[in-house]
Amino acid sequence: MNLWHGSTVCPGHSFLIDSHFGQGGVVSEQTVELVAWAEQDLELLRRVNVPEMKRHLGGPETEEQVQARHQRYLALPNGQMYRVALPGGEAAGTIGWWVREWQDETVYESGWHVLPEFQGRGIAVAAARQVVAITRADGRYRWLCAFPSVDNPASNAICRRVGFELTGESDFEYPKGSLMRSNVWRLDLHPAQAAG
């Protein structure tokens, strides 16, 4: 169940998925809150900037690059980055959405990181479902896309579980100067309009 409340996400909104932890710490329906990126989230950005979390993205960034990324997240002109928070406010990771051009069409794109101690619990799936709801409510574009590395089974599984459709592979220059082979996933935010 999605509940609107607060004033921290998207202009004027915050999402919660109301649920509980399942057996053995595995999430059956994970409660996560997406909190708009803020100054204090720089430390979270540093926590995700480690080799095990950046191995599919060209490796960790320098401190200068992390600081620059943080400033971009604070001022994202056409999208929103979030801290993924658990009940009580503990940060479990990051997620965001932004607008880009893809194959001659304007689309939303999303990407995420879940800290190692919270992986495998359904947190990324719950957060990504919220991004689907947010971009659907924004309503400007038909497609939400994600481009995880073909070598990243966890992120590809998240796309599948959230309902994205795998449409192929593509090479991306990421980081700058390095090619990354990615799967191309997309989710139709307005299927009724497409059918009509």
CATH number of domain containing 76: 3.40.630.30
pLDDT higher at 88 or 189: 189
Task: Reply yes or no on whether the pLDDT at 196 is more than 90.
Answer: no
Taking each helix axis from N to C end, the angle separating 123-138 and 153-162, rounded to the nearest 10 degrees, works out to 50
Q: What proportion of the chain, given as a percentage, has pLDDT over 70?
A: 83
State the Cα–Cα distance between residues 41 and 72, nearest whole angstrom.
12
| 94-129 per-position pLDDT tens digit | 999 999 999 999 999 999 999 999 999 999 999 999
pLDDT of the residue at 100? 97
pLDDT tens digits for 147-193?
999 999 999 999 999 999 999 999 988 778 888 999 999 999 998 77
Give the residue with greater pLDDT, 166 vs 28: 166
Nearest to 82 by CA among 50, 128, 125: 128
Query: In whole angstroms, how far apart are CA 168 and each of 26, 61, 103?
Result: 31, 28, 13
Say how many domains are in the chain: 1
Domain extent for 95 = 2-195
User: Is 95 within 8 Å of 110 (Cβ atoms)?
Assistant: yes
User: Which pLDDT score is estimated for 174?
Assistant: 79
Cβ-Cβ contacts under 8 Å for 157 (sequence gap 6 or more): none
Per-residue pLDDT tens digits for 124-140:
999 999 999 999 999 99
Angle at CA 25, nearest 5°, toward 24 and 30?
135
Beta strand ranges found along the chain (DSSP E): 2-9, 13-17, 20-21, 27-29, 33-36, 79-85, 91-102, 105-114, 143-146, 165-173, 179-188
Q: How far apart are CA 196 and CA 63, in angstroms?
A: 50
DSSP 95-129: EEEEEEEETTEEEEEEEEEE-GGGTTSSHHHHHHH
- Mean pLDDT score of the chain: 86
- Neighbour tally for 74: CB within 10 Å: 14
pLDDT at 56: 86
Task: Tell the burial category of 89 from Cβ atoms under 10 Å away from its Cβ (0-12, 13-18, 19+).
Answer: exposed
Q: How confident is the model at residue 26 (pLDDT cuts 50, 70, 90)?
A: very low
